Amino acid sequence: MTSSLKPFFEPCGVAIIGASASSDKLSYGILKNLISYGYRGGIFPVNPKADEILGLPCYPEICQVPSPVDLAVIVLASKLIPSVLEECGKRGIKAATIISGGFKEVGEEGRSLEAEVLKIAAKYKIRLIGPNCVGTMNLITGLNTTFIKGVPATGGIGFISQSGAICGGVVDHVANNGIGFSHFLSLGNEADVNETDMIEYLGEDADTRVIAAYVEGIQDGQRFLKITRQVTRKKPIVILKAGQSEEGAKAVSSHTGSLAGSHAAYQAAFKQSDAIEVFSTTDLLNTAMALDWLELPRGNKVAIITNAGGPAALASDSLALNGIHLATISTATQEKLKEKLNPSAQTGNPVDMLGGANEDEYSFALDLVLSDSGVDMALPILVPQALVKPEKVAQAIVNSSRKSQKPVIACLMGYESIQEARKILHQNHVPMVDFPELTGVMFGALYKRSLFEKVTYKNPVSEQNSGIETVKSIFNKNTGKKIWGENDTRPILSAYGIPLIEGGLVNSIKDGQNFANSIRYPIVMKVASSQLLHKSEAGVVKVGILDDKSFAENYNQLINKAKRFDAKAIIEGILIEKLAPKGEEVIIGMKRDPGFGPMMMFGMGGVFVELYKDVSFRIAPLGVDDAMDMIRETKAFQLLNGWRGGSRFDIEAITTVIMKLSQLAIDFPQIQEVEINPLRVLPEGDGTLGLDCRMILK
């Protein structure tokens, strides 16, 4: 799969179709970049109107370009592209990057043009990047098919961006600060190659140690999840997803025409695949830099070495927010620190060496805390002082960090006066930031990744359920009903082995009394109707019916109430259910996400889920560990797991229900939504009971 992408990044020759001789054109800029950064293959400008551009002979048509050539970079008016791509196909080109816009992003006409281009590409087995992108950079070989001014340093970050503009802005930002990249590319409309393909490719690329992605929308969520899961086993992936808010999602969709889908689904996918989600461009770059350059820590304890207390306090807040704690510096280390530091210095953590601390004191203190076994990582902070040279402190930090495997991230506050220091640190692969608030996310990501490397990989499970044939035959008999109420849904869930409260549908008082006596009073009576899905709100539930007399009294009352609530409701009868044993109530559901497919939901019942949004999501298929993570992620977990010394409820049984419902969703794509609400969770060992359920088919 990924071999077909190789010509984009390691082509034997590149044709640039639509190369212009005019220096104010993008295509001129691309040609110049192709020439400027050391790419060693052939470069062939194609333009019938020119003989030579930037000293290279120009060819009138792609068919006349000499071999070897396997990549075409196309910068032409969108309407010309189908015919040019045909010619590329005939010439044997295997990869084409279409820089030009004017496709899907501009509406219906562009959309059909894009489809035409894709069809031609398929015919000739040409892989496409773009259209509507800024191209790609391979920083290792020097191949640069973008028109971006400047290039970043070479390093281990593979950077993927759907948006070309983010690429441009980021290059401008990092061009001189030393953060290093192996690849740097924009994907634009993703007519063919998308971020999942690139994650797979960079996952196998030996020069890429960490993948950083700016993502707007993912089309095939299931494939993304599968590939990302595989790649994170080998190297970390850091993702910034635009369109987290409703308005951001709208902005994304008006931009690339891609459907953002629900951010909950994205977050679930990131969690399940152990990708690290960040929330700003700065954090994306900083986190990738740290993961590229540093070893992983053995724990989450940081020692701060500083010449000022204020920034250390801000850093401590930032660390705490990201699950990182201040290390306890041993008495022995503190005694040693006292030997050389200012007598007024603080030797506890943060180690505050006071304003006068120079490079020798930084070396001394950093060496000491890095050799303290209670310290997993170190954060030296410097606020520029009149008498201390930041460059010298930077060099001291470099020297100390070289002696230790423990990750060191530096914070040098300021702007003008710390530029030189940053160069020294970054040349030596010590990540540096200019504000203490930025450090927490970086240390947090290192620690998170270190945990990932310790745990065994969670395999999603998709197991044959013995109920599949039963459900198939139920669905086969369905004559177009979309909304399935409790009575319809119960057999589906039962077939998959999900325990439900004992119950049944009756159509007369007499049958009802017989049934109630067979399962024994007390019982619950509910009106069964697909039109009355929210039964409590409609007032058509009666709890705690104790005997035949009370049953008879309530039977017609309930039916009349249902009719009054909604005259059009078709009443299927009265559902009789045994009164459930005491327990906690949770909700388990599935909703199909347009991008990711079946999205499982778990939450505490009642107002907890709606008001406090105490819910968690994962994408099916799930591993049992994923199901357990879903529960643990909610505050509900604490209520179920012995709240304030109380009894524990059957959490394991909940995971079983999640797994079975997940399998049902995988087996039957026609199920759009299904919900068990409430699921009564009984004391540990006693299982769960579904008390109500419903389903929506496509």
Residues 100-129 that bind a copy of itself (CB under 8 A): 101-102, 105-106, 110
Smallest separation (angstroms) from a copy of itself to the CB of 433: 11
539 sits near a copy of itself (criterion: CB under 8 A):
no
**Residues of this chain, 153-212, that bind a copy of itself according to CB under 8 A:** 161-166, 168-170, 172-177
Structure tokens at 143: 């191949």
Residue type, 461: V
546 phi/psi in degrees, rounded to 5? -100, -20
> Applying CB under 8 A, does 675 fall inside the site for a copy of itself?
no
Cβ neighbour number for residue 133 with a 10 Å cutoff: 28
Q: What is the 3-state secondary structure (H, E, C) of 179-238?
A: CEEEEEEECCCCCCCCHHHHHHHHHHCCCCCEEEEEECCCCCHHHHHHHHHHHHCCCCEE
Our finding on whether 310 is near a copy of itself (CB under 8 A) is yes
From the CB of 19, what's the least distance to a copy of itself, in Å? Answer: 15
Residue 317 binds a copy of itself (CB under 8 A): yes
Cα–Cα dist 121/220, whole Å: 20
Cβ proximity to a copy of itself, 226 vs 263, nearer residue:
263
Asked if residue 216 binds a copy of itself (CB under 8 A), the reply is yes
Q: Report the site for a copy of itself in 455-514 (rule: CB under 8 A).
A: none
Q: Contacting a copy of itself (CB under 8 A), which of 12, 63, 122, 321?
A: 321
Q: Cβ of residue 598: shortest distance to a copy of itself, in angstroms?
A: 26
191-to-10, 98, 111, 237, 545 alpha-carbon distances in Å: 21, 10, 10, 23, 61
Please tell me the total number of residues recorded for the chain in this structure: 698
> What minimum distance in Å lies between the beta carbon of 395 and a copy of itself?
19
Structural contact between residues 598 and 590, judged by C-beta atoms closer than 8 angstroms: yes
**Out of 98, 225, 408, 413, the residue judged to bind a copy of itself by CB under 8 A:** 413
Residue whose structure tokens are 């293959």? 41
User: Helix 439-454 and helix 281-293: axis angle, to 10°?
Assistant: 50
Whether 536 and 691 have beta carbons less than 8 Å apart is answered as: no
- What SS3 class is residue 178? coil
User: Which residues in 29-88 contact a copy of itself (CB under 8 A)?
Assistant: 29
d(CA 618, CA 659): 11
* Of 167 and 576, CB closest to a copy of itself: 167
Q: Count other C-beta atoms under 10 Å from residue 442's C-beta.
A: 29
Q: Hey, what amino acid is at 467?
A: G
Site for a copy of itself in 630-659 (CB under 8 A): 635, 638-639, 643-644
In the shown chain, the binding pattern of residues 588 to 627 toward a copy of itself, with x for contact by CB under 8 A and - for none, equals -------------------xx-xxx-x-------------
CB-nearer residue toward a copy of itself: 292 or 352: 352
Question: If binding is defined by CB under 8 A, does position 243 make contact with a copy of itself?
Answer: yes
Smallest distance from a copy of itself to CB 607, Å: 6
| Measured distance CA(10)–CA(7) in Å, rounded | 5
Question: Does the footprint of a copy of itself cover residue 256 (CB under 8 A)?
Answer: yes
669 is a site residue for a copy of itself (CB under 8 A): no
Rule CB under 8 A: choose which of 3, 331, 344, 464 binds a copy of itself.
344
Distance of CA 555 to CAs 500, 525, 550, 575, Å?
A: 23, 8, 9, 10
Q: Which of 8, 59, 184, 214 binds a copy of itself (CB under 8 A)?
A: 214
Q: Give Dmax over CA atoms of the chain in angstroms.
A: 100
For a copy of itself, the closer CB: 11 or 311 = 311
| Shortest Å distance, C-beta 372 to a copy of itself | 18
Q: For residues 343 and 480, which CB has a smaller minimum distance to a copy of itself in the complex?
A: 343
**Looking at 8, 9, 39, 147, which residue binds a copy of itself (CB under 8 A)?**
147
Q: How far is the CB of 304 from a copy of itself (least distance, A)?
A: 8
Looking at the Cβ atoms of 24 and 477, the one nearer to a copy of itself is 24
Q: Which two tokens stand for residue 359?
A: 């490079």
